[in-house]
Structure 1
Amino acid sequence: MTTTQNPPREATVKGAIAEYDALAALLDGLTPAQWETATRCTGWRVRDVAGHVLGGAADILAGAVGTRTADEQARAHGGGSPAETARDLREASGRVRQALERLDDKVWSLPGPLADRSVGEAVLSLWQDTFVHADDVRAALGLPPDRGPGLEATVRWLRLALERKGWGPVTLVLDGLGTHPVGEGGPELRGDPVTFVLVATGRAEPERFGADAGVNVYA
């Protein structure tokens, strides 16, 4: 059975915008060498990851979600300096915030721009996408992962995505984040939530979390 309950509106909007701003702060002040550092996203440097996130925000503001691939976004928006990209992301973040804060509970539950997803789930997806790509940047620069609210939001989104994919049933028992059932029943998988996120987004081998290849939501 797929979970259909929407994420809480105000907290999710606040978290998604805070994640944009945190990424902008991370990018601001990077050196040219750091900007060109390769990431675990194949073929992408730090600048490309940042360009993709900025491009995604631009597509939201243009009402054009889903019209460009991630690579197209990275090419179109990855040409600035770290400071310029951070500035543009902060500006886009402010405009996205204004748009999202106008949503009421009725609109939050309506079908969104992504297939079979509500508006609320689309915003949760935005939060997790920014969080995961910020972690790509941190990993490339040798920085530790962020274990704040974005991690839990990403776990919630991944659980929904795995249920829709038909993976499981299993019960995820994640250190510090409690229990997250995927479907009803099934065995328990225990471990570190950051490792789970890396595995479930195809950034680490499934064996690292004791899972099968189906755990990758993008496979």
Structure 2
Amino acid sequence: MTSVRALARLEREEFADLLEGLTPQQWATPSLCDGWSVRDVATHTIAYLGQSRTRLLINMIRARGDVDRINADQLQEQAGRSPARLVELMRQRAEPSGAAALYRGRVGLIECLIHQQDIRRPLKQPRSIPEDRLQVSLDYARVSPVIGGARRTRRVRLVATDMDWSAGHGPEARGTGEALLLAMTGRAELLDELDGEGVTLLR
């Protein structure tokens, strides 16, 4: 069985492969993250996961737990990095460390997996996400207080239609594992890809 740390490393290496092939126009394309371009998403991912655990704690204290403020500050600080440098950093730091290594690499895995889809979908470059990575990410999204998957989907039973995964209690919301994960992480447009009575509650 492949370790979560190994899955996180593979996910980040594939993220770097994706970024390396982008044109200048694609780097400027709006992502699924409101107000962020593809470049912004890549910059955020690298900056967030590149923090040491101590630096992450300091940033959380300074921002009084406001994750949006931390993200905005980091984007401003890293705005001068070229696409080539972003690709280089994404590849160099593939092995989970610092913030990326939290929860045995789950933070690094889910951060790269979700944000890669935030980029791929607007660029119309879909992929088949390996089921082992998706399984770990779905489980972690449900328990992480930062991601808030359980909070967003309470009173609803989530059922994946393309893999053996389900969670929660109540009316069902059914869809692919990818759609369920992105919906749990706040991508409201993904609710259109789900079926079942539970979708009304999710909206």
Q: What TM-score, normalized to structure 2?
A: 0.75
Aligned to 2:42: 50
Residues 120-175 of structure 1: per-residue CA shift (max 9 Å, x gap): 27x32331121110111111211114421332222112222467538535432202
Conservation of the 8 A alpha-carbon contact between 1:16 and 1:126: yes
Whole-angstrom distance in 1 between the partners of 2:79 and 2:116: 15
Conservation of the 8 A alpha-carbon contact between 1:170 and 1:189: yes
CA drift at 1:46: 0.8
The runs of at least 4 aligned residues of structure 1 exceeding 6 Å deviation read: none
**Runs of 5+ consecutive residues of structure 1 not aligned to the other structure:** 1-7, 101-118
Conservation of the 8 A alpha-carbon contact between 1:49 and 1:74: no
Aligned to 1:189: 173
1:83 aligned onto 2:66:
no
User: Structure 2 vs 1, CA of residues 168 and 153 (structure 1 numbering), >3 Å: closer, same or farther?
Assistant: same
1:28 aligned onto 2:20:
yes
CA drift at 1:50: 0.4
User: Structure 2 vs 1, CA of residues 95 and 168 (structure 1 numbering), >3 Å: closer, same or farther?
Assistant: closer
Conservation of the 8 A alpha-carbon contact between 2:149 and 2:185: no
Aligned to 2:161: 175
Whole-angstrom distance in 2 between the partners of 1:27 and 1:136: 12
Q: How does 1:134-213 map to 2 (within 5 A)?
A: 134-148=116-130, 149-161=132-144, 165=151, 167-182=153-168, 185-205=169-189, 206=191, 208-209=193-194, 210=196, 211=198
| Secondary structure, aligned partner of 1:198 | helix
Residues 12-68 of structure 1: per-residue CA shift (max 9 Å, x gap): 1111122111111111132111111111212111110000011012213x6312516
Percent sequence identity over aligned pairs: 27
1:63 aligned onto 2:80:
no
Whole-angstrom distance in 2 between the partners of 1:190 and 1:160: 20
- Number of aligned residue pairs: give it: 185
Whole-angstrom distance in 2 between the partners of 1:16 and 1:175: 24
**Runs of 5+ consecutive residues of structure 2 not aligned to the other structure:** 61-69
Backbone CA RMSD of aligned residues: 3.0
CA drift at 1:79: 2.9
Q: What TM-score, normalized to structure 1?
A: 0.70
Q: How does 1:93-108 map to 2 (within 5 A)?
A: 93-94=94-95, 96=97, 100=101
Q: After superposing the two structures, state which structure 1 stretch, 47-56 or 192-201, moved more.
A: 192-201
Conservation of the 8 A alpha-carbon contact between 2:143 and 2:150: yes
Whole-angstrom distance in 1 between the partners of 2:153 and 2:54: 32
Whole-angstrom distance in 2 between the partners of 1:213 and 1:50: 32
Conservation of the 8 A alpha-carbon contact between 1:171 and 1:179: no
Whole-angstrom distance in 1 between the partners of 2:153 and 2:21: 41
Aligned to 1:92: 93
Whole-angstrom distance in 1 between the partners of 2:18 and 2:79: 15
User: Structure 2 vs 1, CA of residues 78 and 89 (structure 1 numbering), >3 Å: closer, same or farther?
Assistant: farther
| Higher fraction of helix | 2
